[in-house]
Amino acid sequence: MKKLFLIFAASSIFLASCESDSKKYTTVDSSIMSEQQISKPNPDECFVYSKNKDSVKLRMWGTGNNILLGQLNYNLFEKDKNSGPIYGVEKGDTIIVDYKFESEGVYSKRQIVWLKQGDKLLEGIGDIYQVNGDVKFKDISKLTFGKSIILEKTDCK
């Protein structure tokens, strides 16, 4: 059943390529993803961040061909909570996802990039721009990692 779900999810996603400074990165877009679709089977990997009054939870599923689906929740102190599905690709030690989230009744989409280091995911920060209301990084190769949120692998519950 899990494989059937993953095959269906993978087949409902299309890939679009973006090119930035001679490095080619791929992003994935899917408007039919919902929290219910990606939260039913057990995730392949889970990560958490907890510091002071801030917390972040990530659940990810691999669908093959380096395509990832997941659920991400941010609960940062004195900021609006937001949560929603992620969908993207894994290229070597880099994970590039689009995060479609709801916060205070408003839906938005932004790009997130993590660098894998052992059992940790270091969130990238850098210059951004907007395209059709979506927030993207100007140049993924120029992101800074390790100075923002660092997610640590945990057991999926």
Tens-digit pLDDT profile for the chain (157 aa)? 343 333 333 333 323 333 333 233 334 444 434 444 444 567 889 999 999 999 999 999 987 788 999 999 999 988 888 999 999 999 999 999 999 998 888 899 999 999 999 999 999 999 999 999 899 999 999 999 999 899 999 999 7
User: For position 155, what pLDDT does the model report?
Assistant: 93
Query: What is the domain range of residue 124?
Result: 2-154
134-137/82-91 β-pairing: unpaired
Cβ atoms of 99 and 112 within 8 Å: the answer is yes
* Enclosing H/E stretch for 5: helix 2-11
Nearest C-alpha neighbor of 98 from the set 6, 7, 18: 18
User: For position 6, what pLDDT does the model report?
Assistant: 37
pTM: 0.73
User: For position 41, what pLDDT does the model report?
Assistant: 67
Cα 15–85–82 angle (5° rounding)? 135
User: For position 1, what pLDDT does the model report?
Assistant: 39
Q: Which two tokens stand for residue 26?
A: 């791929």
Number of domains in the chain: 1
Q: How far apart are CA 154 and CA 151, in angstroms?
A: 9
* Enclosing H/E stretch for 150: strand 144-154
